[in-house]
Structure 1
Amino acid sequence: MFARLKGIVDEIGADHAVIDVHGVGYLVQASRRTLGALGGTGAAATLHVETHVRENDIHLYGFIDRAERDWFRLLVTVQGVGAKVALAVLSVLDPSALAAAIAAQDARAPARATGVGPKLAKRIVMELKDKAALVGIGAADVAVLAKSIKTPEAAAAVSKPPEVAAFDDALSALVNLGYREAEAEPALRRVAEAAGEAAGDVQVLLRGALKELAR
């Protein structure tokens, strides 16, 4: 079975790309995140591939990195989540955001994906919390998300009090996850007030705010 494709981008569609490998065009279905990272027609591309064989059909699913592929493999183990829905989830949540949502049991995050209703979203976060830990891909590591957030004010953050800098970084992370600032900020303030001396730790604020917003 195919594990990786390395070639030239021949075509990019709404939910797929065609990769030309030595004159053979492989149609690969992919998330919007992966399609957006391909660089356009004519660009060199390398995709990690998951192959699904169904009766007389062979479907290829491509991923810009191994982390996204691993999450795809986990998502399709959840009852009611097929390949199409898994790609929809990965189109709205990158691996770090999905890990943070599952760590906080925040079902509203995957519910933003096309084809995912409230019940299925809840099932996703509940089932994957344990499964992700079993395969060792760091599902509960909110620090990954916190470290990945780069705000325009980052250079000036060193001059801010730790509590203010942590609050600003956590708010930026929540907005990047898709929450409105109007709902994220009050949740963060409640967490910060209850955190005491830990209010300067962005990871503490993120974990607490995600739990607040999931209620």
Structure 2
Amino acid sequence: MIAHLKGILTDTGIDHAVIDVGGVGYLVGASSRTLAALGRTGEAVTVHTEMLVGEEFIRLVGFASADERDWFRLLTGVQGVGARVALAILSALEPADLHRAIAMQDKAMVARANGVGPKLAERIVRELKDKTGVAPAGSAPLAGSAVAPVGSLSADAVSALQSLGFKPGEAGAVVAAAEAELGPDASLDALVRMALRKAAK
């Protein structure tokens, strides 16, 4: 398993880059966002990678951050989402935006990506909602986390709703919607009340 590559960026294409590591050129597929983040050819780069192995191929996919790689793993775990579609989604949306779209069940935002129709977008937001939780305002989410960072009002609000019987994904979605409406300075009480009103709609 190759977890990352550290070397010289020698070439880039529409959907790939070539990283020279000790004289060996590794071809890695990548989103347009990652390719833009790598910089210019001839410069030193570090790329987080995921190795895809099939009956007739071995491919490396590269990412500018470990967070993006984690999202790639989550996306490809959804039925109907292959590596190409996952990279298209990550080209269209930053991880934080993708997290927010899933938390708020915004399938239209996910459907912005090339090759993602309404049905697939709906499946993605539905299947991933319990795996990603609430998207904290103004910060990059951690893929796979069930709650917002410990100690945040968002996490406290989600916890409060869960104690009332809400599922983690459902609680995360309504808290994210409430936080988006009230702003980051809202009190815990106001956040919970607004989240409950949104859940009742």
What is the TM-score normalised by the length of structure 1?
A: 0.65
Seen in structure 2, the aligned counterparts of structure 1 residues 57 and 147 have a Cα distance that, compared at 3 Å, is closer
Q: Where do residues 173-188 of structure 1 align in structure 2 (5 Å cutoff)?
A: none
Give the aligned partner of residue 84 of structure 2. 84
Whether 1:142 and 2:168 are equivalent positions in the alignment is no
Question: In structure 2, what is the equivalent of residue 154 of structure 1?
Answer: none
Counterpart position of 2:173: none
CA distance in 1, matches of 2:183, 2:56: 57
Residue-pair matches, total:
153
Q: Identity across aligned pairs (percent)?
A: 59
Partner of 2:42: 42
Do 1:111 and 1:118's aligned partners in 2 also have CA atoms closer than 8 Å?
Answer: yes
Contact (CA 8 Å) 1:30, 1:87: kept in 2 or not? yes
| Preserved CA contact (<8 Å) 1:9 1:43 | yes
1:21 is matched by which residue type in structure 2? V
Query: Relative to total residues, which structure has the larger helix share, 1 or 2?
Result: 1
Secondary structure (helix, strand or coil) at the match of 1:62 reads: strand
Equivalent AA in structure 1 for residue 73 of structure 2: R
Code of the aligned partner of 1:59: R
Q: Which amino acid aligns with 1:95?
A: P
- The CA distance in 1 between the partners of 2:103 and 2:185, in whole Å, is 15
1:80 aligns to what SS in structure 2? coil
Distance in 1 between residues matched to 2:14 and 2:185, nearest whole Å: 36
Q: Using the alignment, how far apart are the partners of 2:183 and 2:57 within structure 1?
A: 53
Aligned to 1:107: 107
Instruction: Provide the aligned C-alpha RMSD in A.
Output: 2.4
Q: Which runs of 5+ in 2 are unaligned?
A: 141-176
Q: What's the TM-score, normalizing by structure 2?
A: 0.70
Letter of the aligned partner of 2:14 in structure 1?
Answer: A
Question: Given that residues 12 and 40 in structure 1 are in contact (C-alpha distance below 8 angstroms), is that contact kept between their aligned partners in structure 2?
Answer: no
Q: Deviations over 1:55-79 (max 9, x none)?
A: 1310000011110000000000111
Question: Residue 115 of structure 1: CA displacement?
Answer: 0.5
Cα pair distance change 1:24/1:47, threshold 3 Å: same
Contact 1:11 1:18 in 2 (8 A): yes
Amino acid of the structure 1 residue aligned with 2:25: G
Provide the residue aligned with 2:71 in structure 1.
Answer: 71
Q: Which 5+ residue runs of structure 1 have no aligned equivalent?
A: 133-138, 149-190
